[in-house]
Amino acid sequence: MIEVEQLTKYYGFLPAISDLSFSIGQGEVVGFLGPNGAGKTTTLKILTCFLPLTSGKARVNGWDVSRNSLKVREQLGYLPESVPLYTEMTVERFLSFAAQAKGMGTREIKPSIEKAIDDCGLQKVRGRIIGHLSKGFKQRLGLAQALLNNPPVLILDEPTIGLDPAQVVEIRALIRSLGQERTIILSSHILPEVSQTCQRVIIINRGRIVAIDTVSNLTAQIQTSRKVHLTIQGPGEEVLKALKLHPGVLKTEEKTGDGPGKYLVEMDKDQDIRADLARSIIGQGWGLLEMGSQELSLEEVFVQLVTEEPGDTV
């Protein structure tokens, strides 16, 4: 659905992105991540035909962004970070205008508007002036206009910004359901959102791709040790000493801020000693109340792969 080959964009003599290559298949929801200035917005604007590329190729649903820009736009629903809205219009009137601008047929417009309003939870504000809406409802309206022509590809830039926690959960669920039939690129600074919504992530830094994979695969590649949370009922000093001296344990830390009996044990990732450790704890007559692995979060993976860059987003 989306194919990018050696995509490069210069602003004067400054390269914003260099030799980006990736592909995204039908039904995939892919996170597009990078620090400020990494080239995320530049890439998205090229894919949506807002910016011309300098070199390379990009195709959306088989159409070339340079040669067939109008056809590409027909395949896309785009939600930019700053949603452009006509604030003097009502919600319903704006959606009607957007549908006409997309070239939709007269018979398609009304049912498409109804579905977008229903999907994005805009029923109770459909007749209100956009300028009087909250930030959250404006964001929902931006998503609704992106869905109007039932596009096979969605590009969403910070889709949950300004939403309250309940609305965020609803929009995440909507994005996941939309991803069953569509290809979705989701750019967000809220990394837990990407973890919960996306099947793969593309991470770029300084205009170049530094990683493309699932979060679990990236974690496995980067994680140098295995960390295990333990809750043990027993004398604190003795438990801590026994954990530190146990064969295969690299490091032990008592998590005093999490309550009594909480420990974090670090071991070699290629040597799983959890079963042996559990037997040792129980053999001492102590209660093993909890044992659970601690994986690297997407935030930790992200920080290790990129270096924060100064300046505004390119």
In a domain, 305, yes or no: no
130 has pLDDT over 80: yes
Q: Is the pLDDT of residue 93 over 50?
A: yes
Is residue 198 domain-shared with residue 272, that is, in the same domain? no
Contact 30, 186 (CB under 8 A): yes
For 49-59, what is each residue's pLDDT tens digit?
A: 999 999 999 99
If DSSP codes are grouped into helix, strand and coil, which group holds residue 46? helix
Average pLDDT over residues 62-78: 93
Q: Of residues 96 and 34, which shows the higher confidence score?
A: 96
pLDDT at 148 over 90: yes
Give the model's confidence band at 63: pLDDT under 50 very low, under 70 low, under 90 confident, else very high.
very high
Question: Residue 310 falls within a domain, yes or no?
Answer: no
- The answer to whether 192 and 163 are in contact (CB under 8 A) is no
Chosen domain end from 163, 195, 220:
220
Q: Please write the tens of the pLDDT for every residue from 223-260.
A: 778 889 999 999 989 999 999 999 999 999 998 877 78
166, 276: one domain: no
β-pairing, 183-187 with 153-157? Answer: parallel
- CB within 8 Å of 144: residues ≥ 6 apart: 95, 116, 117, 119, 120, 122
Residues 165 and 190 occupy one common structural domain: yes
Pair (273, 210) in one structural domain: no
The torsion of the CA quartet 26, 29, 35, 41, rounded to 10 degrees, works out to: 50
How far, rounded to the nearest angstrom, does the alpha carbon of residue 265 sit from its chain's CA centroid?
A: 30
Could you identify the residue written with the tokens 């995509």? Answer: 7
Residues 243 and 214 in one domain: no
Q: Specify whether the CB–CB gap between 196 and 24 falls below 8 A.
A: no
Q: What is the pLDDT averaged over residues 97-116?
A: 92
One domain for residues 32 and 163: yes
> Residue 13: pLDDT above 80?
yes
Tell me, yes or no, whether 60 lies in a domain: yes
| Residue 6 and residue 128 in one domain | yes
Q: Which residues contact 170 (CB under 8 A, 6 or more apart)?
A: 121
pTM above 0.95, yes or no: no
241 with 190, same domain: the answer is no
Q: Is residue 280 part of a domain?
A: yes
Range of the domain at 280: 224-294
Tell me whether residue 308 is in a domain: no
The neighbouring-strand residues paired with 59 are: 3, 64
pLDDT of residue 277: 92
Q: Is residue 301 part of a domain?
A: no
Place of tokens 């490069």: 8
Q: Tell me, what CATH number does 55's domain have?
A: 3.40.50.300
Q: Do both 150 and 259 map to the same domain?
A: no
Using alpha carbons, select from 244, 283, 284 the residue that is nearest to residue 264.
Answer: 244
When divided into structural domains, the chain yields a total of: 2
Query: Has residue 311 been placed in a domain?
Result: no
Show which of 198, 220, 242 is a domain's final residue.
220
Task: Assess contact for 145 and 98: CB atoms under 8 A.
Answer: yes
The answer to whether residues 11 and 111 belong to one domain is yes
Average pLDDT value for residue range 285-299: 86
Choose one of 190, 220, 250: the last residue of a domain. 220
pLDDT of 102 over the 70 cut: yes
Residue 152 and residue 8 share a domain: yes
CATH of the domain at 280: 3.30.70.100
- Whether the per-residue pLDDT at 5 is higher than 70: the answer is yes
Predicted confidence band of residue 307 (pLDDT cuts 50, 70, 90): low
Does position 311 have pLDDT exceeding 70, yes or no? Answer: no
pLDDT above 70 covers what percent of the chain? 97
Could you tell me which of 16, 3, 1 has the C-alpha nearest to residue 54?
16
For the cut 70, the answer to whether the pLDDT of residue 20 exceeds it is: yes
Asked, for residue 300, whether it belongs to a domain, the answer is: no
Together in a domain, 65 and 209: yes
Listing from the earlier edge strand, what are the strands of the sheet with 55-60? 14-24, 2-11, 55-60, 63-64
SS3 67: coil
